[in-house]
Amino acid sequence: MTRRGFARALAALAAPGGWSERALAQRALAGVDLAPDMIWLNANENPEGPSRRALEAMREVLPHAWRYHFQEFGDFCAAVARSEGLDREQVLVGAGSSEILHAAIDAFTAPDRPLITMWPTFEAPEGITRALGRPVIRVPLTEGYAADVKALVAAAENSRGGLIYLCNPNNPTGAYTPKSELDWLAANLPVNTVLLVDEAYIHFAEAADLATAIAYVEQGKDVVVARTFSKIYGLAGLRVGFGCAKPELIRRMEPFRDNVISIVGARAARAALEEASTLVPERRARTALLRDELYVWLERHGFGFIASQANFVMIDVGRDVRELLPAMYRRGVAPGRHFPPLDHMLRVTIGTAAEMAKFREVLLEVARA
Ligand SMILES: Cc1ncc(COP(=O)(O)O)c(C=O)c1O
């Protein structure tokens, strides 16, 4: 990164403002002329990347990418649905799960129907809702950094309905909401309320009492589950995700998404699904190993952290993380940004073993400076 580019990136990071400003800051960092050896541990991507079979599927379809391939998408959607034991009418494919979140917000919030979001969590749903001029209610996390389901329901009752956003496991804390709490929530949804469960990281989870919310979809509840191929499948740049919900909810979301996704993404995702039964547990185990290694190191060096069910960890650096980040960038490591109100926490994505070694070295250096 040039000095000017770096200064611009830091200035953007320091700029006050809402979600969209911070998104811009991240884009500013991503857009400047970067040192080729910068280690990116900021976006919870998976360094294992596309599997060999996914790469082959992409190569095969590239010469045919001049067509839309509309006729293939029904089949693709059916394959996605089958992978979760659902019917095609219960699934909506999108350009990443971001598009599914967007469609759900478009369909199920209104000027008098707020987004009710656990907080802090993934900010995009709040950002989209505010951009639409619709209200947002933040419900603080429990002491265990997971969703406070009773408070979410109380907020929905107070506002006579809304869209509850629950991220499980939660980004950025990595903590999770147990099945018993989710069961209660799904059984006690107030009238005029839809529950949107974001399971972007669920494939990484190992906790025995963490379960997918897709069961509530099967039960016909007012629940939408968002899933992505960006994380464990390592296909973030291809933009493939999907939503699961009962057909009535899918039909209401459908007008708010674009057309079809890229055929290259669809073929890669399909190949990934075909090997999911081995690929997912293997990648989960490898990620857990590196995460455990990080825990041991953190304990040895006196850092607190939040136990994570995802491919990232929140580390307590004991002071405002904004004091450390510029020094880390200068040393060639880019962890996650500041996630208010968790001012003392630094979120790091689990990268390769070599990247994690460099991260540890740099963290120690800057924390002790
Ligand atoms: C919790 C959560 N949900 C959704 C997304 C969106 O991912 P994508 O649009 O790539 O599926 C992200 C991205 O980091 C995320 O952290």
pLDDT tens column, 51-100: 999 999 999 999 999 999 999 999 999 999 999 999 999 999 999 999 99
How many C-alpha atoms does 364 have within 13 Å on its Cβ side? 13
Mutate to test the pocket of ligand 1, among 228, 244, 309 (most ligand atoms within 8 A of CB): 228
- Per-residue model confidence as pLDDT tens digits over 312-356: 999 999 999 999 999 999 999 999 999 999 999 999 999 999 999
Give residue 368's pLDDT: 86
Mutate to test the pocket of ligand 1, among 122, 203, 227, 350 (most ligand atoms within 8 A of CB): 122
Ligand 1, atom 12: closest residue by C-alpha: 200
What are 184's two structure tokens?
């209660």
Q: Same structural domain for residues 93 and 226?
A: yes
Domain total of the chain: 2
Hey, which residues does 138 pair with through a beta bridge?
117
Element (H, E) at 314: strand 312-316
**Distance of alpha carbon 93 from alpha carbon 16, whole angstroms:** 35
Ligand 1: atom nearest CA of 101 is 4
Mean pLDDT taken over the chain: 92
Of 277, 312, 344, the position where a domain reaches its end is 277
What mean pLDDT is predicted for residues 172-192?
98
Q: Same structural domain for residues 102 and 210?
A: yes
Report the CATH number at residue 361.
Answer: 3.90.1150.10
Q: Same structural domain for residues 282 and 271?
A: no
Residue 1 has pLDDT above 80, yes or no: no
Cα 170 to middle of ligand 1, angstroms:
11
Of 246, 277, 308, the position where a domain reaches its end is 277
Residue 306 has pLDDT above 60, yes or no: yes
Which has the minimum average pLDDT: 131-135, 190-194, 228-232, 329-333?
A: 329-333
Q: Same structural domain for residues 268 and 361?
A: no
Question: For the chain, what is the largest distance between any 2 Cα atoms, rounded to a whole number of angstroms?
Answer: 59
**Distance of alpha carbon 188 from alpha carbon 298, whole angstroms:** 40
3-state secondary structure at position 335: strand
Report the CATH number at residue 219.
Answer: 3.40.640.10
**Distance of alpha carbon 352 from alpha carbon 291, whole angstroms:** 11
With vertex at residue 53, the alpha carbon angle to CA 49 and CA 56, rounded to the nearest 5 degrees, is 100
Q: Same structural domain for residues 304 and 223?
A: no
Distance of CA 43 to the CA centre of its chain: 9
Hey, which residues does 39 pair with through a beta bridge?
333
Cα 9 to middle of ligand 1, angstroms:
22
CA-to-CA dists, residue 45 to 12, 181, 184, 351, 363, angstroms: 22, 28, 32, 8, 20
Pocket of ligand 1 (CB under 6 A): 44, 96-98, 122, 167, 171, 198, 200, 228, 230, 236, 241
Cα 340 to middle of ligand 1, angstroms:
18
Q: Same structural domain for residues 239 and 254?
A: yes
Phi first, then psi, for residue 318 (nearest 5°) are 75, 0
What are 164's two structure tokens?
């509850």
Cα 200 to middle of ligand 1, angstroms:
6
Cα 226 to middle of ligand 1, angstroms:
9
Contacts of 36 (CB under 8 A, 6+ apart): none
Ligand 1: atom nearest CA of 236 is 10
Q: Same structural domain for residues 34 and 68?
A: no
Q: Same structural domain for residues 283 and 237?
A: no
Domain holding 342, by residue range, is: 3-49+278-368
What mean pLDDT is predicted for residues 289-309?
98
What mean pLDDT is predicted for residues 354-360?
98
Give residue 16's pLDDT: 38
Give residue 30's pLDDT: 53
State the alpha helices, DSSP H only, in 304-347.
321-330
What mean pLDDT is predicted for residues 183-188?
98
